[in-house]
Amino acid sequence: MVDEMDPKATVETELGGDASNPYGHIADNYGPRRACFVTGHGATLLDDRGRSYIDFLGGIAVVSLGHSNPVINAALKKQSESLWHVSNYFHNQHAARLADLIDSKIASAVPGKVFFCNSGAEANEAAIKLARRFGGEKRYRIIAAEGGFHGRTMGALAATGQPSKQIPFAPMLDGFDHVRFGDSKAIRAAVTDQTVAVLLEPIQGEAGVIDPPEGYLEEVRAICDEYGLLMILDEVQSGLCRTGEWFAFQHTKAEPDVVLLAKALGNGIPIGAMWAKEQVMASFIPGDHGTTFGGGALATAVGVAVIEEMDRLELNDVVRLTSKRLRSALMEMPLVKELSGKGLLVGVELERPVADEFVGLAMQRGLVVSKTSTTRLRLAPPLVITDSELQEGLGVFEEVASEFTDVNS
């Protein structure tokens, strides 16, 4: 853990300027950064001042196998010494293997195919184009959820159900109808003869780790079947063992037509993917969509190593056990009102609107967490977090929560 420090203090680094301008020529898109991390192992980070932190955020559900995972490092090193990039005009054995692995983990009754890209936003953009191709000239509208988040590129942003993120960049791309998350009746009411798909997160991540009601996805599946719509699930944040199943939809009986992946698929190496049932993916013909870097040998070799290592570790079982320990401890703490999410994707509702202050104080004490609103925290630690790391992080969490309780008691 770290010593207390001024949360507004800037950090001078090799990459930028003086104390008043620590980021140099980096665009200031993210506001003040609270630390400059230089190394990491497992769920522990070290900053440029030699201070250690327990990571309860995991790069926002990215480093599921932990920082500097030796298996992933070895796969990256091995591939970097043989071949990095040749373009998608040529075959790539790692991409083929990774596509097979993804298809096997989705375990659909209908075989699927995979389009590789570089991020979750790109995966969503690919799905939007695929849906429009599938719908032909007359069907192009997509029903999405209020509060949903699908990325910041223009198509993905139009699908995102958060006006605060859209208004500065209006007008939005037409073709999206937003309804209340968790309300299947609202989806049914929004269907027209121009509707081609429903795009949802199984658990809304950026909105605060919001769970839908029981049976919601099954009801959406039934509506899609009734009207011939594609069911597209954005598993960018919830996929790949994060919830204790390979995919969050597997906690239900609903089977999607399209699944979107990124984040944990590369454990920090940029990669995204769109899986779709074969007959749906057949809507794309050569030239309809493409990417320079998507599916390259380096990223897909890492992706193969990620899924194979998750398999070897039987990570879903690990996540279920760790989740029970984490959630049980959190519910005993002051300031915590309720929890949401599944597995190690955890929303923490606070008794008071002090989330921003909580994040800052936690950083001072050596714990990395994030907020999604004034009353809500999001936790998404590496899935391989050790018991000692978990207990240390929980200790800091309780210290911080107690301080707010003491102040307001």
Quote the CA–CA distance of 338 and 306 in Å, as a whole number. 32
Do residue 307 and residue 328 come from a single domain? no
Is the pLDDT at 407 greater than 60? The verdict is: no
**pLDDT single digits (tens) 170-199:** 999 999 999 999 999 999 999 999 999 999
149 is catalytic: yes
Residue of 149, 176, 358, 404 marked catalytic: 149
Task: Tell me which of 263, 287, 312 is where a domain ends.
Answer: 312
356 is catalytic: no
Do residue 348 and residue 281 come from a single domain? no
Task: Tell whether 25 is covered by a domain.
Answer: no
**pLDDT single digits (tens) 299-323:** 999 999 999 999 999 999 999 999 9
Task: Tell whether 284 is covered by a domain.
Answer: yes
Residue of 105, 263, 342, 371 marked catalytic: 263
Task: Tell me which of 262, 282, 312 is where a domain ends.
Answer: 312
Is the pLDDT at 31 greater than 80? The verdict is: no
Helix axes 387-408, 355-365, angle to 10 degrees: 130
Mean pLDDT of the chain: 94
Residue of 115, 134, 176, 234 marked catalytic: 234
Do residue 254 and residue 392 come from a single domain? no
pLDDT value for 34: 80
Is the pLDDT at 79 greater than 60? The verdict is: yes
Task: Tell whether 11 is covered by a domain.
Answer: no
**pLDDT single digits (tens) 5-25:** 343 333 333 434 455 666 788
What is the value of pTM for the model shown?
0.94
Do residue 308 and residue 323 come from a single domain? no
Do residue 139 and residue 276 come from a single domain? yes
pLDDT value for 408: 52
Task: Tell me which of 279, 312, 345 is where a domain ends.
Answer: 312
* Percent of the chain surpassing pLDDT 90: 90
pLDDT value for 9: 38
Task: Tell whether 12 is covered by a domain.
Answer: no
User: For residue 293, what pLDDT band results from cuts at 50, 70 and 90?
Assistant: very high
pLDDT value for 7: 36
CB 54 within 8 A of CB 369: no
Q: What angle do CA 73, 250, 318 make, to 5 degrees?
A: 45
Look at the chain and report how many structural domains it folds into.
2
Measured on CA atoms in the order 121, 355, 169, 134, is the torsion positive or negative? Answer: positive
**pLDDT single digits (tens) 123-178:** 999 999 999 999 999 999 999 999 999 999 999 999 999 999 999 999 999 999 99
* Percent of the chain surpassing pLDDT 70: 94
Residue with tokens 């944990």: 264
Amino acid at 29: N
Provide the residue range defining the domain that includes 53. Answer: 37-63+314-408
277 is catalytic: no
